[in-house]
Amino acid sequence: MVRYTLKQLYYFKAVAEHGGIAQASRALSLSQPAIAQALNKLEQQYGLTLLLRRHSRGVELTSHGRQLYQMAQELLQRAEQQESVIKLMSQGKLDTIRLGCFHTLAPFYMIPLIQQLKQQHANIAVLGEELLQDRLLDKLLNKQLDLAVSYDMGVIDNAISKQKIASQAPYILLSRHHPLATEKGLWAEQLQGLAFVMFDGAGSQDYYHNLLTSLQLAPEIALVSQSMETVRSAVGNQMGFSITVMRPKTNFSYDGSELAYIPLLDPCPELAIVLLRLREQKPTDAMNLLLSQYRNLT
């Protein structure tokens, strides 16, 4: 029998994130004794010290506390997802689909299709989740997702079925004020001597390394970021060039700097975008409806 409760984990997570019982008490609008009692019971149940109480500096997580914090995050997120499913069932939704999407693809290949399915089939709900590649594959393999959309990078597990839904040719990303920004297309040799701003998603570094090698480019790396918007802002501020396969409808970064997307003229392979699911999992009728929407993209 499981001895911990979700309430204990919820209080523990709040204390860890807010840095103390008093701070968590204010954030949760609960009394300090209620939170302290729940944490004490959690520690006593397992004979662990999870928090070091520093009266002048709040609390500090022990090594066991840091491990439990990671587990609590995942368990509470999963519990919230299951509660969402229950709520949808109570609202008359006959089926739900748990759809994961590589984070930079979500605006293009998750949000519009969720909205389309919602309009056409009101009794089906899609629970969308934006993730990095390694977490996306992990959740799919652990049956926490029904379907996933990603680039075809690092997907080599035989348990996963892949369906190509699109492919994209790379663009060179430059500041609108760069001298090359007025070109209709660029050859790789024109980029010699320019610094490179790299997007660092799981699998992305290998993709960029292989692409730059094939183009006979070895640029200095000016910046590495897991945020595509940070990459766009860095390029917009003339820190260097980047390469992207997705082109937003706006040519402005978050900070207002203007960008230019220029086709690459050198021959290079397009990057496939794939729909993933477990081979052993038989698609439900709702999943087949969503699968058909993605098939229409090819």
Same domain, yes or no: 151 and 285: yes
Q: What is the CATH number of the domain that holds 61?
A: 1.10.10.10
- State the chain's mean pLDDT as an integer: 87
Mean pLDDT, rounded, for 68-95 = 73
Per-residue model confidence (pLDDT) at position 91: 62
Same domain, yes or no: 136 and 258: no
Per-residue model confidence (pLDDT) at position 85: 60
Beta-bridge mates of residue 286: none
Domain containing 226 equals: 170-269
**Comparing 34-43, 99-108, 195-204, 261-270, which segment has the lowest mean pLDDT?**
195-204
Number of C-beta neighbours around residue 281 at 10 A: 14
Per-residue model confidence (pLDDT) at position 156: 74
Same domain, yes or no: 265 and 174: yes
- Residue 82 lies inside a defined structural domain of this protein: no
Same domain, yes or no: 130 and 248: no
Mean pLDDT, rounded, for 109-119 = 84
- 158 is written with which tokens? 């035989």
- Residue 13 lies inside a defined structural domain of this protein: yes
Number of independent structural domains in the chain: 3
Q: How far is CA 110 from CA 117, 181, 193, in A?
A: 11, 31, 37
- Residue 79 lies inside a defined structural domain of this protein: no
Q: Does 82 score more than 80 pLDDT? A: no
Number of C-beta neighbours around residue 176 at 10 A: 15
Same domain, yes or no: 30 and 160: no
Same domain, yes or no: 222 and 287: no
**Comparing 90-99, 219-228, 278-287, which segment has the lowest mean pLDDT?**
90-99
| 216 φ/ψ angles, rounded to the nearest 5 degrees | 60, 40
Burial of residue 185 (CB within 10 Å: 0-12, 13-18, 19+) is: exposed
**Comparing 4-8, 123-127, 134-138, which segment has the lowest mean pLDDT?**
123-127
Contacts of 189 (CB under 8 A, 6+ apart): 216
- Residue 1 lies inside a defined structural domain of this protein: no
Same domain, yes or no: 147 and 201: no
Stretch (H or E) spanning 34: helix 32-46
pLDDT in tens, 155-182: 777 889 898 888 889 999 999 999 999 9
Angle between helices 6-18 and 32-46 (to 10 degrees): 110
